[in-house]
Amino acid sequence: MREAQLGVGAVAQRLGVAASTLRTWDRRYGIGPSGRSAGGHRRYTPADVARLETMQRQILTGVPPQEAARVALEAPPGEPPAPRAHGAGGNRVPLRADHDERQAAEVRGLARAAMALDASATAGTVRNALRRDGVVRAWDDLIAPVLIGIGRKHAVSGDCVEVEHLLSAVVLGCLAETPAAPPNGRPVLLACAPEEQHSLPVHALAAALAETGVETLTLGARVPPPALTAAIRRTGPNAVFVWSQTTETGDPAWLAELPASRPPYRLVVGGPGWNRDRLPPHITRVAAFPEAVTALASLPGAR
């Protein structure tokens, strides 16, 4: 039976990277499709896609693309290689079931510590996860689920605003402790939309990008368009990322007024607030945290 094969666009969409990135990976690192269509277009089998996903996972833990491609090409099919350890104590790869149970327990523990306004236990758990798992996994598996859970509690009861504030302050503090990337001349600029106060995702993204060696400049919450314009002119960024959490801040009309620069930068947006129907076509929208990291870390000139 013939396996279902995907074109480069479909694979790019699935991985959350540009099609040109996949072509570059193929040309530069020899990690491409095993076949071509009659017309010469790239055709990816499920095994090709699995290899690319392995490469992407490696990049997300800070492995440089060349090394990530090598690991992916050498991994036996169906067996993901061990994730790279971060900091002390991170080199044991637990069994999946142990891992899921530990993760669920850690989410419950962090939620309890935050609900009890226990700043020290909250910080200890967040810091430990960041060091052990790296920013992408600590955010996706622990911090974001607890934030979303507390947000839900707030939505039904109107309570927990003090918990949101404490947890946010602790997470910001722990993220600030993570190391910065060396300057490379063209940073990724990260900002919240005008009047948007939910800045945590932007700071988490900065820390995750730093972990992959990408230099960032974080402008944080409520950035007025003239300020972002000035920052673009002054820094000549490689990419600009803008976050909108709430629909109040999600009208993208002003994005079209941002200045062009030479060399050009990629404009990427994320967050549930954006009015997607009104996003100009040249803007890339990312839906998930790892997707944002991959999209920004795999741009040419990112590091």
Among 59, 207, 292, 302, binds ligand B12 (CB under 6 A): 292
Pairing of strands 216-220, 284-286: unpaired
| Binding window for ligand B12 (CB under 6 A); candidates: 11-19, 47-55, 258-266, 287-295 | 287-295
Q: What's the sign of the alpha-carbon dihedral 273, 151, 112, 221?
A: positive
Task: For residue 151, state whether it binds ligand B12 (rule: CB under 6 A).
Answer: yes
Is the N-terminal amide bond of 46 cis, ω within 30° of 0? Answer: no
Element (H, E) at 57: helix 46-60
Give phi and psi for 187, each to the nearest 5.
-75, 165
Under the binding rule (CB under 6 A), the answer on residue 137 touching ligand B12 is: no
Residue 275 engages ligand B12 in binding (rule: CB under 6 A)? no
- How many chain residues interact with ligand B12 (CB under 6 A)? 29
- What is the spatial distance between Cα 59 and Cα 69, in angstroms, rounded to a whole number? 9
Binding positions for ligand B12, 190-249, rule CB under 6 A: 196-201, 205, 245-247
Please tell me whether residue 289 binds ligand B12 under the rule CB under 6 A: yes
User: Cα(99)–Cα(30) distance, rounded to whole angstroms?
Assistant: 33
Q: Closest residue to ligand B12, Cβ-based?
A: 151
Give the β-pairing of 42-43 and 188-192.
unpaired
The smaller minimum CB distance to ligand B12, of residues 152 and 282, is found at 152
Tell me: does residue 164 bind ligand B12 (CB under 6 A): yes
Nearest to 183 by CA among 219, 220, 214: 214
Peptide bond into 94 cis (omega under 30): no
Does 135 interact with ligand B12 (rule: CB under 6 A)?
no
Candidate ranges 59-67, 83-91, 123-131, 281-289; the one touching ligand B12 (CB under 6 A): 281-289
Measured from the CB atom, is 61 or 199 closer to ligand B12? 199
Residue 270 sits in the site that holds ligand B12 (CB under 6 A): yes
The C-alpha atoms of residue 205 and residue 175 are separated, in whole angstroms, by 10
Residues contributing to the site for ligand B12 (CB under 6 A): 144, 147-148, 150-152, 154-155, 161, 164-165, 168, 196-201, 205, 245-247, 270-272, 286, 288-289, 292
